[in-house]
Amino acid sequence: MLAYLARRLLQLVPVLLVASFLVFVAARLTPQDPAVVMAGGRQTSTAVLEAIRAKYHLDESVPSQYLRWMAGALLGDLGESYRLKQGVSAMIAARLPVSLQLIAMSVAIALLAAVPLGILAALRKGSWVDILATSLSLAALSSPVFLTGILGILLFSYTLGWLPALGSGRNFAENLRYLLMPSVALALNMLALSMRMTRSGMIEAMRRPYIQTAILKGLPRRTIVLKHALRNALLPLVTITGLQIGFLLSGTVLVEYTFGLGGLGSLLVNAIQTSDYPVVQGLTLFIVSAFLLINLLVDLLYGIIDPRIRQA
Amino acid sequence: MSGLLSLRGLRVAFAGEGGAAMAVRGVDLELEGGEGLALVGESGSGKSATAKAILGLHDMSSTAVTGSVRFEGRELLELGEAELRSFRGRGASMVFQDPGTSFNPLLRMGEQVAEAFRSVAGLDRKAAREAALGLFSRLGIRDPVTRYAQYPHEFSGGMLQRMMILLALAGRPRLLVADEPTTALDVTVQAQVLLFLEELKEELGMAVLLVTHDMGIVAETSTRIAVMYAGRIVETGGTAEVLGSPAHPYTEALLEAMPRPGSRGTRLATILGLPPGVYEADSGCPFFPRCRHALASCMDGLPPSVEAGPGRKSACFRTHSLSLRGIA
Amino acid sequence: MRKSGSGRALPAAFALACIVLVATLSSCARAAPGASKGGSLSFAITGDIVALDPAQAYDFTTNPVVNEITEGLLRFSPTGELLPNLAEKWESPDPKTYVYHLRKGVKFQDGSAMGADDVVFSLDRIRDPKTASSLAWMYGSVDRIERTDDSTVRISLKTPDAMFRYALATTAGHVISKAYYEAHASNFGKPEGGLLGTGPFKFASWKPGSEIVVERFDGYWDRDKGPFLDRVVFKIIGEDATRVTGLKTGEIDATIKLPVDLLPVVRSIKGAQLVGVEGLSDDWIAFNTRRKPLDDPQVRKAIITAFNVGAVMDGIVKEAGVAAGNQSVGPALWTYEKAAWETFQNTVEKYAYDPARARELLAKSRGAGGFKAKILTDGDAFRVNVAQALQADLAKLGIQLEIEKVGEAELTTRQFSGKRDYDIVMGGWGADFPDPAANIQPFLHSSGMGEGGSDFAVYSNPKVDALIDQQSRSSDDKERAKLLISALQLAAADAPYIFVDHPKIFYAASEKVGGYTMSPIWYWDSIARGMYLKK
């Protein structure tokens, strides 16, 4: 098991190297000039711009800049933002809690809704319940987050005054209120896929011979569905959820803009728009690593759920 | 009727693309308590559908089961979901063909066994666990506690099937329906499982309905045999008599097609032609196209089931005029 | 208002003096009746601050925050005059020398005293290349900064510089605590290190990407003007619509700089206050005067004459700006010699809209018969609309104008790149100081043609250069106005730019906010100092 983990972690390295190099180069291919952008649209002189370029090593060749950055990154120093006088690692760390909580809440809400719906649709396959559940989740999938977000704000913040319209709280508990609407907006989009995965997984599982066995044991329907069938239906759902979480790492940007949240998504988009290379590079490296780790966790989870895989 | 199980005019029709697929077209069968009856036929003869109908395992939203299935006097086809649930495992139980897929691959073996004891035998958690461990020991499993926590894929096919059988008997049912219980097993293991089944039958005094296509195994386990063809019973009788001198041409052909010791090197006999499809309507004797003893008159309506001897029936127009060859 | 200690233990005379003092102070400018002292105010800014450091405070999001914590030797009045602040008086004995006399008894927010050492340290720090402050240019002509005694600072310039005097009212003139900086050298200005100043509010917390919180400093030296609020929370909200939503739901109490299309929404909020003032900025269009046929002034004049600015004002700018009359110096910038500027504005050639005349001009120019050109702009809705209006007007002249839209950062890059790879470019420019020269020199002086320069039209006129240089060495505002006006007259004859309008800046607040008057120079001053919450 440990050897397996070690091997998987080692496999991350070449992927990270390639990804980081690609991002490094891509960032420098844009037509923006970071030195000028840093000077912020005010008059400067060539001397000042040259000084900025020298300070941030923008005058060196791309491979040389890359190696310099890589060396720092390996020691945990992702450099300093061009635009804001803050360390990239610190910027990521400051926004991480909000992003993490947003992702966690979205996934939880999505699954809490999708799994029961999927089970219901599978058990009543072809009936109006099935059709209704499928239609609802497709409608949810088609609603853009900023639309559902704004509608939510209109109803729950402005009209009813139950939930805050923007910003985030000071800690996890406060954030449960602040991030509720954004999480629901995101969850609606994830709902459809998770529900259909659960549904097809359940339909498959219920067809299996061991379900016949369970019936013959005289087990109540609830036990058969939840204890026997659902467990088997979960495997594809786990994979999909892992992918969705990976996407959400930066995919929350629209929700962040709508609700005025300081998360990783808006950080990345802002950094790209303003040629803030260190932030773009550092954050991309972080997101790629996180994504790979999530996939690793999904695989491990697979092994936990399915003992046959564990021993392979 | 002192009979344990009595099927009368059982029909099973599946909703299919070509209309209604008639898998079982009127089956009459009697089974006494403690008796071993083999239900024999090719694939598609409707024997599995018959077996499942007894346990009420068909999906009622797409299947029509009509006729009468009486168990200890009760009409099973009229039972509601809850009554059926308490019937299964206690009145009658069933074992399937592939033990490998009959267990849930994601749950531990011990739990799957204990679960049965909790459900049909009404034991509490602790007692059920004890009973399950006892079952493991009975099967000769060394170190039952460790194995209790293992998963189905860590057990051999033969072991799983025997476990399946014991599990099916957790509620001490009066009838066990075994649908091709040895087909998926190695030949050597087959014998073990059959013997095991026989032992338990004796021990519990229960009836066993053995559904199979393999004529070779019926002799050891069943005192009576019913041959099914195209959704109907074509012959019933004592196993020895039927095998020795079959009354129905289909039975004769089946016996001929069996590989025998000493037949090595010779061509296997086959029954030319195919059985009628499930969508085809009845018209004349269903075996007519393949029967070597057929006459034109055999096409005049369905042959009725007539007495072919003491305790023997056969559905052939020419029952009394034929003398068919069996195996000794 | 806290009463001063007037206990029985004090001599009667002193007690009487105190009572009189309190009464006087109480009747001075203070919170209006019905106000409640205390409370927390949420102010929305559109992005994260660069740092908690006046040396890095040179934008519209960092400045509002830093301005509450630190302050400069001088302050701007709403009409652009220099007022005393941490320096209670100053003088310039000769054009190359400035002497500032510091107010006594001013304390930093940790209780330590502010002195000349702190001032010298703070100002020198801005000049130090290692600080990499983009405000350093304001001290470009400075030779030496030194303390002459505990409460006097003397600044010597290399050459006379008419604009230098303003620097000390901007964040370049803010005073930080030398001791505090040295104690926090590694994380000064960052969330953990913070900022220590003499301003009305002290730094409390900064959650990057989310909010910055400042709390009332009860030991503030100018107490009769405020502060009254307990706390100000600067909320970072990138999306304009979300800011306005915040105003609607009450989660935001005030904000500045709203786009014109959201103004009706703000007005629909019950009790909301909306104030717009003419800013010190320009929306401008620059011709690249080195490119054919735009190098011919007649072509440029033809284009300006063909451009229906009035229609643009009515249809696109509407209430968001004030007509510029094709000049970069608007009334808000007439901070001295107002009459002279007014006369100039009324008489200068504006190339007013006249399609027939435009055609005449073009026919006699090197662009006769029409030509193709590209106008470079970003995706900003306002700019795109104006570009489209110009495109339509020029089409009638036979000039095919293609609109090249790029991202904001790319536009900035190409505006300041020495390559000047554009035919025509659009942008916005805001004056750093309330002085007309601030909107003249950057556009017209040839030193700005190269990389990093703001002479977007690549305009080079030695006579204009000379006039601008001359006024920058003068200390007589009357003389300077004359020189600047002459320069503008010469430039107007060459028509290198179109100045579309002077944008207005809007301040929006909920009905319970009082005590703030919006001014064009809002970004150099504390906003929350006098604010209070009405019941």
Residue type at position B300: D
- pLDDT of res. A36: 81
**Which of C207, C444, C8 is closest to A167 using CA atoms?**
C207
Secondary structure string (H, E, C) spanning C236-291: ECCCHHHHHHHHHHCCCCEEECCCHHHHHHHHCCCCCEEEEEECCEEEEEEECCCC
d(CA A148, CA A113): 17
**Does B151 sit within 8 Å of A214, measured CB to CB?**
no
A touches B (3+ CB pairs < 8 Å)? yes
**Exposed (0-12), middle (13-18) or buried (19+): which is B49, by Cβ within 10 Å?**
buried
Confidence of residue C27 (pLDDT cuts 50, 70, 90): very low
Report the gap between the CA of A209 and the closest CA in chain C (Å): 55
Give percent of chain B with pLDDT exceeding 90: 27
- pLDDT of res. A107: 95
**Does B116 sit within 8 Å of A307, measured CB to CB?**
no
**Which of C342, C336, C441 is closest to C77 using CA atoms?**
C336
Residue A265, phi then psi, degrees to nearest 5: -60, -50
Residue type at position B214: D
**Does A84 sit within 8 Å of C249, measured CB to CB?**
no
Residue C365, phi then psi, degrees to nearest 5: -110, 180
Average pLDDT over residues B229-236: 91
- A178 to chain C: closest CA residue: C251
* H or E stretch at C485: helix C477-494
B90 vs A: CB within 8 A = yes
d(CA A208, CA A198): 16
> Is the per-residue pLDDT at C6 higher than 60?
no
Report the gap between the CA of A113 and the closest CA in chain C (Å): 28
3-state SS class at C515: coil
Tens of pLDDT, residue by residue over A12-32, are 889 888 988 888 888 788 787
Structure tokens at A211: 């379900």
How many structural domains comprise chain B? 1
Which chain B residues touch A209 with a CB distance below 8 Å? 96, 98, 101-102
Tens of pLDDT, residue by residue over C421-442, are 999 999 999 999 999 999 999 9
For A93-274, the fitting CATH number among 1.10.10.10, 1.10.3470.10, 1.10.3720.10, 1.10.150.120 is 1.10.3720.10
**Does A86 sit within 8 Å of C51, measured CB to CB?**
yes
Q: Which DSSP category does A264 fall into?
A: H
Which chain C residues touch A86 with a CB distance below 8 Å? 51, 190-191, 208
**Which of A215, A222, A211, A242 is closest to A305 using CA atoms?**
A242
Tens of pLDDT along chain A (312 residues) come to 777 788 888 888 898 889 888 888 887 887 878 888 777 667 777 777 887 888 888 888 888 888 888 888 888 888 888 888 888 999 999 999 999 999 999 999 999 999 999 999 999 888 899 999 889 888 988 889 889 998 999 899 888 889 998 988 888 898 999 999 999 999 998 888 899 999 999 999 998 889 988 988 888 888 899 999 999 898 889 988 998 998 888 789 999 989 989 899 999 988 888 888 889 989 988 998 898 889 888 888 888 888 887 765
Secondary structure string (H, E, C) spanning C344-397: HHHHCCCCCCCHHHHHHHHHCCCCCCCEEEEEEEECCHHHHHHHHHHHHHHHCC
Residue from A36, A49, A53 to probe the interface with C (highest C Cβ count within 10 Å): A36
Which chain B residues touch A227 with a CB distance below 8 Å? 107
Residue from A202, A210, A235 to probe the interface with B (highest B Cβ count within 10 Å): A210
> Is the per-residue pLDDT at C12 higher than 70?
no
d(CA C399, CA C249): 49
Write down which chains contact chain A via at least 3 CB pairs under 8 A. Answer: B, C
Report the gap between the CA of A308 and the closest CA in chain B (Å): 7
d(CA C114, CA C88): 13
Residue B101 lies in a domain: yes
B36-40, strands of its sheet edge to edge: B92-95, B175-179, B207-212, B36-40, B224-229, B232-238, B312-314, B306-309
A-B interface: how many C-beta pairs under 8 angstroms?
A: 68
**Does C207 sit within 8 Å of A40, measured CB to CB?**
no
**Does C252 sit within 8 Å of A44, measured CB to CB?**
no
Considering CB atoms only, which of A209, A214, A306 is closest to B106?
A306
Residue C446 lies in a domain: yes
**Does B89 sit within 8 Å of A218, measured CB to CB?**
yes
Considering CB atoms only, which of B86, B94, B103 is closest to A216?
B94
- B212-221, C184-193, C476-485, range with the lowest pLDDT: B212-221
Residue B26 lies in a domain: yes
How many structural domains comprise chain C? 1
B120 vs A: CB within 8 A = yes
**Does A90 sit within 8 Å of C190, measured CB to CB?**
yes
Residue B322 lies in a domain: no
Considering CB atoms only, which of B86, B101, B151 is closest to A218?
B86
Its pTM stands at: 0.81
Tens of pLDDT, residue by residue over B143-163, are 889 999 999 999 998 889 988
- A83 to chain C: closest CA residue: C50
Report the gap between the CA of A232 and the closest CA in chain B (Å): 7
Residue matched to tokens 């066993």: B208
CATH number for the domain harbouring residue C370 = 3.10.105.10
Considering CB atoms only, which of C242, C251, C409 is closest to A274?
C409
B62 vs A: CB within 8 A = no
Residues linked to residue B208 through DSSP beta bridges, in sequence order: B36, B176
Domain that holds residue B295: 3-106+151-273+282-314
Residue B294 lies in a domain: yes
- A81 to chain C: closest CA residue: C50
> Is the per-residue pLDDT at C471 higher than 80?
yes
**Which of C248, C234, C209, C211 is closest to A150 using CA atoms?**
C248
d(CA C294, CA C370): 12
- B55 to chain A: closest CA residue: A216
Considering CB atoms only, which of A40, A150, A262 is closest to C208?
A262
- pLDDT of res. C43: 97
- pLDDT of res. A300: 86
**Does A216 sit within 8 Å of B107, measured CB to CB?**
no
Considering CB atoms only, which of A210, A217, A231 is closest to B101?
A210
Residue B92, phi then psi, degrees to nearest 5: -140, 155
- pLDDT of res. C3: 35
CATH number for the domain harbouring residue B191 = 3.40.50.300
Report the gap between the CA of B149 and the closest CA in chain A (Å): 11
**Does B96 sit within 8 Å of A231, measured CB to CB?**
no
Residue B203 lies in a domain: yes
Report the relative pairing of strands C273-278 and C82-84 from DSSP bridges.
unpaired
- pLDDT of res. A311: 64
**Does A275 sit within 8 Å of C451, measured CB to CB?**
no
d(CA C530, CA C30): 8
- pLDDT of res. C5: 40
A203 vs B: CB within 8 A = no
A-C interface: how many C-beta pairs under 8 angstroms?
A: 161
**Does C48 sit within 8 Å of A84, measured CB to CB?**
yes
Residue C215, phi then psi, degrees to nearest 5: -120, 150
> Is the per-residue pLDDT at B134 higher than 50?
yes
Average pLDDT over residues B13-26: 84
**Does C246 sit within 8 Å of A257, measured CB to CB?**
no
Tens of pLDDT, residue by residue over A29-54, are 878 788 887 776 677 777 778 878 88
d(CA B100, CA B91): 25
Centroid of chain to Cα A243? 8
Considering CB atoms only, which of A31, A150, A267 is closest to C410?
A31
Considering CB atoms only, which of C189, C208, C251 is closest to A166?
C251
- B95 to chain A: closest CA residue: A213
Write down which chains contact chain C via at least 3 CB pairs under 8 A. Answer: A
Tens of pLDDT, residue by residue over A219-255, are 888 889 999 999 989 888 998 899 899 888 878 999 9
**Does A219 sit within 8 Å of B94, measured CB to CB?**
no
Which chain C residues touch A31 with a CB distance below 8 Å? 406, 410, 413-414
**Which of B52, B89, B77 is closest to A220 using CA atoms?**
B89
Considering CB atoms only, which of A49, A274, A275 is closest to C451?
A49
d(CA A250, CA B205): 68
Tens of pLDDT, residue by residue over C389-422, are 999 999 999 999 999 999 888 898 899 988 999 9
Average pLDDT over residues B290-307: 85
Domain that holds residue C471: 281-504
A touches C (3+ CB pairs < 8 Å)? yes
**Exposed (0-12), middle (13-18) or buried (19+): which is C473, by Cβ within 10 Å?**
middle
Q: Determine the length of chain B.
A: 328
Report the relative pairing of strands C399-406 and C371-378 from DSSP bridges.
parallel
- pLDDT of res. A78: 87
**Does A217 sit within 8 Å of B167, measured CB to CB?**
yes
Residue C480 lies in a domain: yes
Considering CB atoms only, which of A36, A95, A273 is closest to C416?
A36
Average pLDDT over residues B307-327: 85
